[in-house]
Amino acid sequence: MSIYVDENTRVVVQGITGREGRFHTRQCLDYGTAVVAGVTPGKGGQEMEGVPVYDTVAGAVEDTGANCSLIFVPPTLAADAVLEAADAGIGLAVTITEGIPVLDMLRVKTHLQSSQLRLIGPNCPGIISPGRSKVGIMPGAIHKPGGPIGVVSRSGTLTYEVVDQLTKQGIGQSTCLGIGGDPVNGTSFLDALEAFERDPETAGVLIVGEIGGDAEERAAEFAAREMHKPVVGFVAGLTAPPGRRMGHAGAVISGGSGTARSKIEALRENGVTVCEDLGSLGDCCARAFLGVL
């Protein structure tokens, strides 16, 4: 198994005719992902990379049975794209778009409370079940199929780095997802940890955090209280000065809270193995997960 996506995931790409949408649709298709439809209003009836294009998500779902949306819609329209996917009965929306206004995301969060749709992102690299399905912009080649380790990260590029290190250690992954670093997002660390704990093919979890907010602290408490699988953590931003935003909109230290050091201490206090040196994370994981590999 894996969490959220697998070989049965049927993807509709919202924004498929744009430059990014077209490029990454081809990458997903080449990986073996079942991309069954695209949506760009006003361009229904066309084809893009051999994929039929529809004017609406509802039309795409009706014709193709799509159950997952990959969203490359511009920031001002991306919230409406998520809501359209939800109204069409899509179960999972992966939103790559960066820069969606916070007020728009608050509107989305409120709407999704009464919806079956799970949102991953926004401002994220997406999700991959290695060898099964890639719904996002991550490089598929660095992932190793058939492994027992789940990865969940706030940072896209750091996800690639830690996955590459795992693969070079011979450690395969069950599912890897980037939850995004925006202040308001869909799936949280807690959601992913809960799903990994239930997944029989995941034997251990690596979480990659960064400065800002309290998501890592809450994840640490959840791991100590609810998880029976080993957890390894890494937190980026040890040298980040207070008040300086580092990358993501949510990665900012406010006063004395949200620092990398406070997050590392919270993880350790709750039984999570922490690696402070990114360059040795692969070695650290090989040791920490030795009993479950």
Cα distance between residue 188 and residue 167, in whole Å: 25
pLDDT value for 243: 58
Cα distance between residue 199 and residue 168, in whole Å: 24
Judge contact between 259 and 213, C-beta under 8 A.
no
pLDDT value for 291: 87
pLDDT value for 246: 57
Q: Tell me whether residue 248 is one of the annotated catalytic residues.
A: yes
Residue 58, number of CB atoms within 10 A of its CB: 16
Q: Distance between terminal CA atoms of the chain? A: 16
Cα distance between residue 114 and residue 86, in whole Å: 10
Phi-psi region of 213 (alpha: psi -120 to 50; beta: other; left: phi over 0): left
Cα distance between residue 278 and residue 45, in whole Å: 48
In sequence order, the β-bridge partners of residue 275 are none
Instruction: Name all domains of the chain by residue range, CATH numbers in brackets.
Output: 1-124 (3.40.50.720), 138-293 (3.40.50.261)
Structure tokens at 227: 């998880």
Residue 270, number of CB atoms within 10 A of its CB: 18
pLDDT value for 238: 77
Structure tokens at 169: 């250690």
Label residue 18 exposed, middle or buried (CB < 10 Å: 0-12, 13-18, 19+): middle
Regions of the chain where pLDDT drops below 70: 1, 239-257
Judge contact between 213 and 250, C-beta under 8 A.
yes
Judge contact between 151 and 136, C-beta under 8 A.
no
